[in-house]
Chains A and B, each alone.
Chain A
Amino acid sequence: MKKNCCIVFMLVLTLLLFPATSLWAQSSKVIKIGAPIPLGGAGGAYVGIAWGYNDCQSYFAAKGGIRGYKVVYLVEDNRWDVITEIAVINRQLTMEPKEELLLFCGNLITGTLKALSEKINKEVRIPSIALSYSVEMFGSKGGPSKYPYYFSFGPDYSQQVGLLLRYIKRDHKKDTPPRLAVVYSPTEYGRDPLSDLKEDVVRLGIKIVAEEEMAITASDVTAQIINIRKAQPDYIIWHGFLPGMLVAPVFLKTARQYLPKVPILGTHYQTTLSMILAGAQAADGLIGVSTQVQWEETNNPFVRLVHEQAAKSKRQFPAGEPPNYMGGWILGLMAAHAVDVTVASGDVSREGMKKALEKSTWDFDGMYEGRKFSYASHKVPMARIYKASFAQKQWNPITPWLNADEELK
């Protein structure tokens, strides 16, 4: 009798609790986003990225999630290292439920994208938004037809260089064709846009008069700068360098000594606050194309939002870190946008997210000053050309936001 009573009690309890638990399950729908970013290793001191990503997560958590979904960012250290990043991605793919882990949005180094291209694009088929601007992955030789699940945050390096070439064409006032020197690092990253650049200059009537590689560990580049000086260029394009690389400030200082009047133009990673801080006076007047708005553009709604959240979190930034903090926000917001359009589409799956992203048009919370972009090409095609001011320690815009897909048609 006692046993039967127990069984009946358990059944009643189960019946009573079932609707409650199912309701609870419904209200705690989760979408997870794999976010490998540098927290340790060579890039570990770029604390702003993690802070930005973290504050963005808190921002959406405080809002109660996105369209009823709780968004969990699986932030994990990739040490800015391909091997580590691959391990992080593989671990997350193995451990997390397929119906919850819908997106990777983080550092995603070009080397990682290459190594995992088969797995991500053919096996697990998970959308992956990368900070890579690789021509091979996102340019004319890659793109959605070859890598259908890869997305990028900006125009690829060939497009960035293309925008700079058109700027040169507009800026050049002499009757003779513009004479261009090209400087790059002897890395896959440095050589990435070269072949497209060489085709583009022919179309635009620009003459390449010097081409120099500079090792990223070089402490003296006088020989290369002298070679460039002999070629008498009107402009120099440099690509494939990061501010932390030993050669970057050495190049700027040496170039300013030997070629004080020749404008130097760079791609996204040369257009950073850290580059101004590293080059000091030699960085003054540098021109660069950037895929993201600058920290100082406080009239921009996106920048205002980031400033507000930084103040709320009482962030004390080390020198050079505010743009990285904004970079963390850009990663977080892009992931949030992906969740938003996916849930709105009704197909909450990896495939659904890919389709929703491809169909989406967005203004990145006002970052592009009213301009919207389509993600159909798997690249945010927006970029802007800036000029460095050492006195102000900032990059000032010298063009409006440009849609590379339209500008380079």
Chain B
Amino acid sequence: MDFVQSLGSGILSGLAYGLLGLGLVLIFRASEAFNFAVGEFLVIGGFLFYILYFGWDLPFLIALPIGLGAAAVFGAIVERLTIKPLMGRPALSMTIVTLGLSNILAGGLQATAGSNPYSFSLGLPDFTVELGILIYPSPQVWAGVLSLVFFSLVLFFLYRTRWGLVIQATSESQPKALCFGINAQFVLLLVWAIATVCIGAAGIVIANLGALSYQTSLVGLRAIPVVLIGGLDSIPGALVGGLIVGVVEALTGAYVEPLGLIGFKEVVPYLVLLVTLFIRPYGLFGTVRIERV
């Protein structure tokens, strides 16, 4: 029973991690840059929603799309100001820019939102699942459900719409996309906006498990093993990576930590990552690239 309980909890958390990872994968596929500011994007997404839902008392179904829309605008502005000027340069320079961005945003968040946490309870219908001694609390269930819904919506957009096709084409090869008359610069802007929506949505469901503060950005670090295990350029990989990290964390907490290895839960995703990279250097679903030198 413990196993089922832990497995279920791990899957629910893993779905949220997967959504977080999806944000990183989208950016990597479009620009080959790794967004180290993922934690700050997560908090900003959460705060934008917070202002509308808790500050202005808008209904959830109105606050959520507007909040995520605001997050998309934020992502687009960041792309215009920091990433676009670097187009044509090595992807590494964009990655380094995100490191600086992370520090600037963290400082800005602290200066504006302060250090105290903000209570964050979505007040959604109680979906607590109780099966005998198994309990899955409502915020956890909602985290899983909402993450899955967002993940599906993004997949639908990418694979079932014209703009999704354009994004895929540009992600495949920017020069080829340009030859076909696709505005690659706008596509990059769009990708950053969608990725920020994914990360912001993950921020909302994760904050609902506890509270929202500038320190919530630490959860963003979980995205690193998630995308590296799944494969940096693989969308299904983000989901699988998220589930692996969530389940491994939960099972370690239930079975390994009681043996005296306290805190091992925090380390184990990185151990799994290490083992994965030894076996498959591009992650479980990442594209194997052979470069001639």
Contacts and interface: CB of A to CB of B under 8 A. Distances in A.
Interface stretch (A58-66, A217-225, A285-293): A217-225
Contact of B115 (A43, A254, A281): A43
Interface residues on A, range: 35 or more
Interface stretch (A5-13, A146-154, A313-321, A369-377): A313-321
A45 B115 contact: yes
Contacts of B119: 249, 277-280
B116 A274 contact: yes
B29 interface: no
A250 B111 contact: no
Nearest to B134: A226
Interface string A266-280: 000000001001111
Interface stretch (B191-199, B205-213, B229-237, B273-281): B205-213
A252 B211 CA distance: 10
A220 B118 contact: no
A212 to B, nearest CB: 8
Interface string B233-265: 000000000000010011111100110001101
Given A220-B9, A278-B117, A278-B119, A226 B137 contact: no
A280 B121 CA distance: 8
B131 to A, nearest CB: 14
Interface in A147-192: 186
A258 interface: yes
Contacts of B206: 219
Contact of B9 (A222, A230, A278, A319): A222
Nearest to A184: B262
A216 B46 CA distance: 20
B48 to A, nearest CB: 18
A223 B117 contact: no
Given A254-B137, A257-B135, A186 B263 contact: yes
B78 interface: no
A251 B128 CA distance: 17
A253 interface: yes
Interface string B110-126: 11011111111100000
Contacts of A321: 116
A219 B211 contact: no
Contact of A279 (B211, B213, B221): B211
B253 A244 contact: no
B139 A253 contact: yes
A358 interface: no
**Residue of A220, A226, A227, A318 most packed against chain B (CB within 10 A):** A220
B13 A44 contact: no
20 contacts: A44-B110, A46-B115, A219-B209, A220-B9, A222-B6, A223-B252, A226-B2, A246-B210, A246-B218, A247-B210, A249-B119, A249-B210, A251-B210, A252-B210, A253-B209, A257-B128, A257-B138, A258-B137, A278-B119, A320-B116
Interface of B: 2, 5-6, 9, 13, 110-111, 113-121, 128, 135, 137-140, 206, 209-211, 213, 215-216, 218-219, 221-222, 246, 249-254, 257-258, 262-263, 265-266
Interface of A: 42-47, 186, 213, 215, 217-224, 226-227, 230, 243-254, 257-258, 274, 277-281, 318-321
Given A186-B263, A280-B121, A320-B116, 6 more contacts: A45-B110, A213-B262, A215-B266, A220-B246, A222-B9, A244-B116
